[in-house]
Amino acid sequence: MVAYEQMIEKVAGQIKTTVEALSAKADLLLAQEGAGWEAAGKNEEQRKVLALRVAARQISSEKAKLTRSGATLFEGMFVSVPREKDWAKMAYNKMKNTLSALDEAGRLALVEQGSVVLYENNHDGSFTRHTNPSLMAKQSFEEGMQSSDIDSLPPRHMALDANTSFSLVWDKNNMTFANGNANFKYGSNRPLEELDRTCLFMGRKEGTTGEPEIIEVRLSGEQAKIQFPTFVCGKIGLKPAAKVGLCYGSKATVFTADESVMDIFSAPPFALDDNGSPFGVVADWLGNNLKSSIEACGKAYAELDQKAKWNTVFGTIVEVVHIDPRENGGFIVTLGDTDIMSEAEVVSLYVPADQEGEVDFGVGSELLIVGSPWITREEELRFMVNSWWCANRIAPLADTDADGDGWD
């Protein structure tokens, strides 16, 4: 074991990373691939060395990608990772509802206006396409419609009914971008998927000495599918925007856990002092939006105006009431208010398979959850969890030996 620890130190020095970052990456690989390696006949020592070797190569590759992309390395932790939004899916579904309520004349009017392209099934292997001719020709927009037969439907379309499909027009207003280049969206069919995720990262540029700050991180496409771990310290490559406090994801946006980054924070994310008062970097960040219960979060949310409801986050302490393993790995953790008289519904926390190692607590533990309350059409309070932190751990029955690593 001593030899393995010496190997980690040597490899970390060679690839210019910290022992903590390399160990975290190797441990994750071992958890993900260890069973397969064991089935292939590799013993424990061979599995650990293989995980270390692959982890080192991945970190080196990520560093090279960061350099090529021109991204900047930041250190800190994610404090809010909401679910991704699919703007195209929402737009298509909204238009489908609109078209379903219109007669043929109303639908064709939207074609003339350049909002949609319609396709009618001729049931002979062909389709009749109704489109705006100016947009079809990539010319200045003018209202109008032309119909023509096509042999197949384009990839970007949604079925309206058994005989009709449609595509949204991506852009009918701007033939060029602000820099004068041709706008590829103009007159084109809008994609069926446009993923977007806006996260909050508390940290700073690597190598600087200022206090960690909240940075808005905007991710799109495949990157928006990544559910980054929250309240886990590490490093990530991002592209800073001209606007202070805003960064975008890039091809080098890979989060690498690194316990040494904890040192940039003056306190753990959240804790209670001897008087029961909250303190910590997240408690300071939330301020008055740190509430005593889910129910209290809901009441505060109800008092906000419509604009504020979109981006205001709240936090509260909840109790773990049940933990269910998911079929493909990970857990569903059921949470409830600590006040037995609370009328708030329980909250479901979905922990993905690659983060199941963070669930090292049992029923009765207390978690800080940060997220967004919302009200259903039936006027019932719900809470969408964007991040979580185990503030008071009770060891599960199978593991009563809690280690002492992590935040003090």
pLDDT at 2: 58
CA distance linking residue 32 with residue 188, whole number of Å: 42
The answer to whether residue 405 scores a pLDDT higher than 80 is no
How far apart are the C-alpha atoms of 59 and 400, rounded to whole Å?
Answer: 34
Quick: pLDDT tens for 363-375.
Answer: 999 999 999 998 8
Please compute Rg for the chain using Cα positions.
26
- Has residue 220 got a pLDDT over 80? yes
Rounded to whole angstroms, the Cα distance separating 313 from 230 reads 15
pLDDT of residue 402: 46
- Chain-centroid distance of CA 85 in Å reads 9
Confidence (pLDDT) at 378: 86
Higher-confidence position of 203 and 18: 203
| pLDDT at residue 83 tops 90 | yes
Question: How open is the CA angle 253-330-35, to the nearest 5 degrees?
Answer: 90
pLDDT cut 70: percent of the chain above it = 96
- For residue 143, the SS3 value is coil
Residue 271, pLDDT score: 83
% of the chain at pLDDT higher than 90: 61
Containing 204, the helix (H) or strand (E) segment is: strand 195-205
Residue with the larger pLDDT of the pair 219 and 12 = 219
∠ at Cα 248 (247, 254), nearest 5°?
105
Beta pairing class for 213-220 and 246-248: parallel
Three-class secondary structure of residue 316 per DSSP: strand
d(CA 212, CA 18): 20
H or E segment at 184? none
Three-state DSSP class for residue 288: helix
> What type of residue is 372?
S
- Pick 408 or 292 by higher pLDDT: 292
Query: At residue 102, what is the residue type?
Result: L
> What is the SS3 string spanning 319-337?
EEEEEEECCCCCEEEEEEE
Phi, psi at 340, each rounded to 5° = -65, -20
- At 160-201, the pLDDT tens digits run 999 999 999 999 999 999 899 999 999 999 999 999 999 999
Residue-averaged pLDDT of the chain: 90
Three-state secondary structure call for residue 86: strand
Q: How confident is the model at residue 270 (pLDDT cuts 50, 70, 90)?
A: confident
- Work out the average pLDDT over 244-261: 88
Taking 80 as the threshold, does the pLDDT of residue 399 lie above it? no
Using CA atoms, how far apart are residues 290 and 376, in angstroms rounded to an integer? 22
Whole-angstrom distance, CA of residue 268 vs CA of residue 79: 12
Residue 404 has pLDDT above 70, yes or no: no
Closest listed residue to residue 158, CA positions, set 104, 118, 203: 118
In the chain, what is the straight-line distance between the N-terminal and C-terminal CA atoms, in Å? 26
Summarised one tens digit per residue, pLDDT across range 340-363 is: 888 889 999 999 988 988 999 999
| DSSP classification of residue 102 | S
